[in-house]
């Protein structure tokens, strides 16, 4: 088949699927589409796959699923993502950088500019307030808005004497109109030393006591999900993160391919497994894993539904329409996997 004919065929298929999508949206009620997309079809395996992008309520749902069943292994999936450029402080707490500075004594003492790069999820009444500490001393306080900014202080002393730099987020709030969340990216010292939050910080939720602490030692959503599951009480020895190192447009497909490669590389003999997904994304996840794996695998799907956020997140027509288009797009890009 010539390149011209191949392109013509693909355009014809895309047009056909678009017509079918519009027809489906007119034919089915919104509730019917939600039920179709939010599919759950369990198997009874020893392996559970947890998608790494899941929000915290869904991850807590995964914890309930794990504790209620006899899973021997939990695999978290996910990619490197721009979502991880910032760390989200979703609740009041202390974000602590341990810079480990080793500065030339000639450049050490004196007046230094120390900046934290941060932003708020929303502005106005939902802007985030935080206090900035050097070691244990409160130096200044700031209110962050939606735009990423550098919030800086002037500090006199020896940089080698800095054990910690701390941001204390103290005005978390959520209501029917929104949720205050503070996002932290990095510390910059004297415009020449950059300390990213990854591998250099911890997040103590609530009190500064280490009881509910997130160690920010991750680069992928798979690793972040693993850390959260451990924090929620799951045995770390049962969790294996399988991350897709190559981010791309098709994140679900990238994660599924990394999962397949990880099974082969680790010589894991599990052929039956459930995938823990979220709401209307579940069917797209399910068909992706079923297509990229051979027929010997028995793949189940569990769609978590968050009753608190169901109205705002899943019953919006725009979200349902977008997910339906994404599902059809995946049907098209997964066509080559039918032949393997």
Please count the other Cβ atoms lying within 10 Å of the Cβ belonging to residue 319: 16
pLDDT of the chain, 340 residues: tens digit per residue: 444 455 555 555 655 555 565 555 555 667 788 888 999 999 999 999 999 999 889 999 999 999 999 999 999 999 888 889 999 999 999 999 999 888 777 767 889 999 999 999 999 989 999 999 999 999 999 999 999 999 999 999 999 999 999 999 999 998 888 889 999 999 999 999 999 999 999 999 999 998 888 899 998 999 999 999 998 999 999 999 999 876 566 889 999 999 999 998 988 889 999 999 999 999 999 999 999 998 889 999 999 986 555 554 445 777 887 888 888 888 888 877 765 5
Instruction: Write out the H or E segment, with its range, that includes residue 11.
Output: helix 3-27
Find the largest Cα–Cα distance for the chain. 74
Distance (Å, whole) CA 305 – CA 60: 12
Distance (Å, whole) CA 288 – CA 222: 17
CB 74 within 8 A of CB 232: no
Long-range contacts of 257-265 (CB under 8 A, 24+ apart): 257/292, 258/77, 258/79, 258/222, 259/49, 259/75, 259/77, 259/289, 260/292, 260/293, 262/75
3-state SS class at 168:
strand
> Closest Cα to residue 275, out of 60, 38, 75, 55?
75
> Closest Cα to residue 282, out of 299, 298, 303, 300?
303
Q: What pLDDT, on a 0 to 100 scale, did the predictor assign at position 4?
A: 44
Please count the other Cβ atoms lying within 10 Å of the Cβ belonging to residue 287: 19
| Sign of the torsion angle spanned by Cα atoms 324, 327, 329, 331 | negative
Q: What pLDDT, on a 0 to 100 scale, did the predictor assign at position 313?
A: 47
Q: What pLDDT, on a 0 to 100 scale, did the predictor assign at position 127?
A: 96
Q: What pLDDT, on a 0 to 100 scale, did the predictor assign at position 150?
A: 97
User: Crossing angle, helix 251-266 and helix 282-292, to 10 degrees?
Assistant: 40
DSSP assignments along 127-163, one per residue: -EEEEEEETTEEEEEEEE-SS-EEEEEEEES-GGG--
> Domains of the chain: which residue ranges?
24-81+220-339, 85-214
Looking up tokens 């500065």, which residue turns up?
Answer: 103
Distance (Å, whole) CA 300 – CA 138: 52
| Sign of the torsion angle spanned by Cα atoms 192, 196, 197, 200 | negative
CA 82, distance to chain mean position in Å, is: 10
The topology (CATH level 3) of 85-214 is Lipoxygenase-1 (2.60.60)
> Closest Cα to residue 187, out of 199, 178, 196, 179?
196
CB 130 within 8 A of CB 203: no
Q: What pLDDT, on a 0 to 100 scale, did the predictor assign at position 1?
A: 45
- Residue 283: CB partners within 8 Å, gap ≥ 6? 36, 37, 38, 39, 301, 327
Instruction: Write out the H or E segment, with its range, that includes residue 114.
Output: strand 111-120
Q: What pLDDT, on a 0 to 100 scale, did the predictor assign at position 73?
A: 97
| Alpha helix ranges (H) inside 28-68 | 30-37, 56-67
The topology (CATH level 3) of 24-81+220-339 is Rossmann fold (3.40.50)
The model carries a pTM of 0.78
Q: What pLDDT, on a 0 to 100 scale, did the predictor assign at position 307?
A: 59
Q: What pLDDT, on a 0 to 100 scale, did the predictor assign at position 292?
A: 92
Q: What pLDDT, on a 0 to 100 scale, did the predictor assign at position 142?
A: 98
Both tokens assigned to 75: 């695999």
Distance (Å, whole) CA 275 – CA 334: 18
């Amino acid at each position: 088949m010539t390149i011209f004919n191949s392109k013509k065929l693909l355009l014809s298929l895309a047009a056909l699927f678009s017509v079918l999508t519009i027809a489906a949206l007119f034919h089915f009620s919104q509730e019917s589409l939600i039920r179709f997309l939010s599919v759950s079809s369990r198997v009874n395996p020893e392996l559970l796959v947890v998608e790494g992008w899941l929000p915290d309520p869904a991850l807590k749902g995964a914890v309930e699923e794990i504790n209620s069943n006899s899973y021997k292994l939990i695999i978290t999936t996910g990619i490197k993502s721009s979502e991880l450029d910032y760390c989200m402080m979703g609740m009041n707490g202390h974000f602590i950088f341990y810079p480990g500075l080793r500065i030339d004594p000639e450049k050490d003492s004196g007046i230094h500019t120390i900046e934290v790069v941060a932003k708020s999820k929303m502005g106005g009444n939902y802007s985030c307030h935080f206090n900035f500490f050097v070691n244990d001393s409160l130096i200044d306080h700031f209110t962050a808005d939606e735009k990423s900014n550098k919030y800086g202080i002037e500090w006199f002393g020896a940089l080698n004497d800095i054990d910690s730099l701390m941001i204390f987020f103290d005005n978390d709030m959520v209501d029917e109109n929104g949720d205050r969340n503070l996002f932290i990216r990095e510390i910059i010292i004297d415009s020449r030393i950059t300390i990213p939050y990854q591998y250099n910080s911890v997040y103590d939720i609530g009190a500064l006591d280490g009881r509910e602490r997130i160690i920010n030692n991750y680069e992928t959503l798979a690793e972040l999900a693993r850390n959260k599951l451990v924090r929620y009480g799951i045995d770390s020895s049962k969790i294996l993160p399988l991350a897709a190192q190559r981010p791309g447009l098709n994140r679900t497909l990238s994660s599924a391919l990394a999962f397949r490669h990880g099974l082969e590389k680790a010589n894991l003999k599990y052929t039956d497994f459930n995938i823990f997904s979220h709401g209307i994304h579940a069917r797209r996840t399910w068909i992706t894993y079923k297509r990229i794996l051979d027929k010997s695998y028995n793949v189940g799907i569990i769609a978590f539904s968050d009753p608190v956020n169901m109205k705002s997140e899943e019953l919006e027509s725009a979200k349902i329409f977008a997910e339906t288009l994404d599902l059809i797009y995946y049907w098209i890009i997964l066509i080559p996997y039918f032949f393997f």
